[in-house]
Amino acid sequence: MSARRLGRPEVLLPTAAAGLTVTAFALLPAYTDAGLSSFDVYNTFQIFARLGLLALALGLTMIAGEFDLSVVGTYALGGMLTVQAGQEHYAYGLLAAVAAGAAIGLVQGGLIAGLKLPSMPVTLATYIALLGLTSALSGGLTKTYSNAAVTLWVDRTVLTYFSPRSLITLGLFVLAAVVLSLTRWGRELRAIGGDRRASRVAGVRVDRLLVGTFVASGVLSALGGSLLSFSLGSANPDPGVQPLIVAAAAALLGGVSLTGGRGNPLGLLGGIMAVALLTEIVTVAALPAYVTQLFFAGLLGIIVVIDAPDLHSALVRQRTRLRAGTSRPSPAGAQPGSQT
């Protein structure tokens, strides 16, 4: 990989974030009393499986230059539908969740693309509505899933470190990475996030693509909710805002730009793995939970500063001054680089 390519934010940020956390994880025995076991790695992938699809769903809409706040609502509804429709056979539950996710994405995408609405308010309204709907479906109570065979299956250990659940999540990341980097759909998705007017003039079907992205986001978050319900053997009507915050942090750590057009699923994978590792480190080292929050806050602060356009123009200005200062012979006594 060339130095220029490594310097791009969507490669640099997740590499740095994942590299730092992997190092911290590997060195855990050196600075705590805790030893590391293969179970800790397995656990990290379980945390990844819990939040990964949510981060992927949000990340895809961010790459397209939008922001889907409703992912957590769809996640909750997907989990609840899985439990309620899947008592007889898990496939019915899975199907109900995925269909609901697709329908939610279709409606939101249609509104956003068709009426040229900003995605924040639309998806915020959907988020609130979906939480309400989920509560209504469950009567506000946590619902248990009685098919223990499925619960045992999704979390059983595979190849020492994985479970079927984490492998499915990983597989979806790889699929998304392939679609985004190797297909026309992926190229156009990044294009509409980078410059929507230019894409339209170039002949990209912007509106269709936006609807498709929201459908993908809905399906992925619903699926994430389903897998979590299978794993826990229950569904909670309100997962809170924590998953959304963590997913957004993972997307930013993964090098996805808030302004759109930049990012890829492998970067996202790096971002969410960094989050999962950190959570596991805090658990193993028995550190207080606030350490995670402070660490994330610091990390996000650094990323935002690196991405700031004003910092960029200040650097350009400084460079111009320095160049002008060296190329122009300065009058006697004058500071090099000072303006005349």
Partner 1 sequence: MSSASTTAGGELVRVDGLVKSYGSTRAVRGASFGIAPGEIHALCGHNGAGKSTVVKMLSGQEVPDGGTIRVGAEVVDLRSRQVAQRGGIALVDQELSVVPTLTVAENLLLGDIQASWINRRRTSGERFRTLLDRVGLGHVGLDQRLSELGIGERQLIEIARALGQDARLVILDEPTATLSDVESAYVYTAVRSVAAAGCAVLFVSHRLGEVLDLSDRVTVMRDGAVVATTPVADLTIDSLILQMLGEAPHRLGRRTGRDIEGSAEVLSVSGLTVPGRVATFDITLRAGRVYAVAGQLGSGASDVLRAIAGLVPAATAGITVDGVTVPAGRPAAAIKAGIAFVSNDRKAEGLFLDKPVSWNLLATRLPHVTRLGVLDRRRWSAALAALIDLCGLDGRRAGHDVGSLSGGNQQKVFVGRCLGRDDVRVLLLDDPTRGVDVGGRAAIHALLRDAADRGMTVLFSSTDLEELLDLADVVVTMHKGVAVRRHDGDTAGSVLLREMTHGAATVTEERR
Nearest CB to partner 1, comparing residues 176 and 204 = 204
Distance of alpha carbon 235 from alpha carbon 226, whole angstroms:
9
Shortest CA distance to 94 belongs to which of 175, 154, 47, 44? 154
Q: Rule CB under 8 A: is residue 324 a binding residue for partner 1? A: yes
Burial 297-324 (b: 16+ CB within 10 A, else e): eebeeebeeebeeeeeeeeeeeeeeeee
Compute the least distance from the CB of residue 314 to partner 1, in Å: 7
Beta bridge partners of 162: 158
Residues 212-271 that bind partner 1 (CB under 8 A): 257, 261-262
Instruction: Indicate whether 143 belongs to the interface with partner 1 (CB under 8 A).
Output: no
Shorter beta-carbon distance to partner 1: residue 8 or 156: 8
Is 175 a binding residue for partner 1 by CB under 8 A? The answer is no
Is 112 or 204 the residue whose CB approaches partner 1 more closely? Answer: 204
Least CB distance to partner 1 at residue 339 (A): 5
CA quadruple 103, 105, 108, 113: dihedral sign: negative
Q: Residue 51 is encoded by which pair of tokens?
A: 């939040």
Q: Which residue, chain included where needed, has tokens 């000072």?
A: 338
Residue number with CB closer to partner 1 (4 or 159): 4
Listed residue (84, 221, 202, 92) closest to 143, CA to CA = 84
Any contact of residue 313 with partner 1 (CB under 8 A)?
yes
Q: How far is the CB of 272 from partner 1 (least distance, A)?
A: 22
Asked if 43 touches partner 1 (CB under 8 A), the answer is no
CA distance 16 to 303: 11
* Minimum CB–partner distance for residue 210 and partner 1 (Å): 15
Spatial separation of the C-alpha atoms in residues 60 and 125, rounded to whole Å: 20
Cα-Cα end-to-end distance for the chain: 44
Question: If residue 217 lies in a helix (H) or strand (E), which one and from where to where?
Answer: helix 206-232
Query: Rule CB under 8 A: is residue 3 a binding residue for partner 1?
Result: no
Choice between 164 and 205, CB closer to partner 1: 205
Is residue 335 within the footprint of partner 1 (CB under 8 A)?
no
For residue 184, what are its two tokens? Answer: 């026309």
144 lies in the binding site for partner 1 (CB under 8 A): no
CA distance 71 to 54: 7
Report in angstroms how near the CB of residue 324 gets to partner 1 at its nearest: 5
**Residue 314 interacts with partner 1 (CB under 8 A)?**
yes
Q: Distance between CA 29 and CA 37 in Å, rounded? A: 11
Among 153, 161, 200, 285, binds partner 1 (CB under 8 A): 200
- Is 334 an interacting residue with respect to partner 1 (CB under 8 A)? no
- The window from 152-160, 209-217, 277-285, 312-320 that contacts partner 1 (CB under 8 A) reads 312-320
Stretch that binds partner 1, among 51-59, 114-122, 140-148, 190-198 (CB under 8 A): 190-198
Smallest CA-to-CA distance from 151 within 52, 81, 232 is with 232
Q: Could you say whether residue 191 binds partner 1 (CB under 8 A)? A: yes
CA quadruple 273, 50, 163, 90: dihedral positive or negative? negative
Nearer to partner 1, 157 or 183 (CB): 183
Token reading at 126: 């959907």
Among 79, 93, 193, 212, binds partner 1 (CB under 8 A): 193
Element (H, E) at 336: none
Query: Is residue 204 a contact residue for partner 1 (CB under 8 A)?
Result: yes
Paired tokens of 36 = 């590391």
Q: Does 183 bind partner 1 (CB under 8 A)?
A: yes
Which residues contact partner 1 by CB under 8 A? 4-5, 8, 181-185, 187-188, 190-191, 193-195, 197-205, 257, 261-262, 313-314, 316-317, 320, 324, 339-340
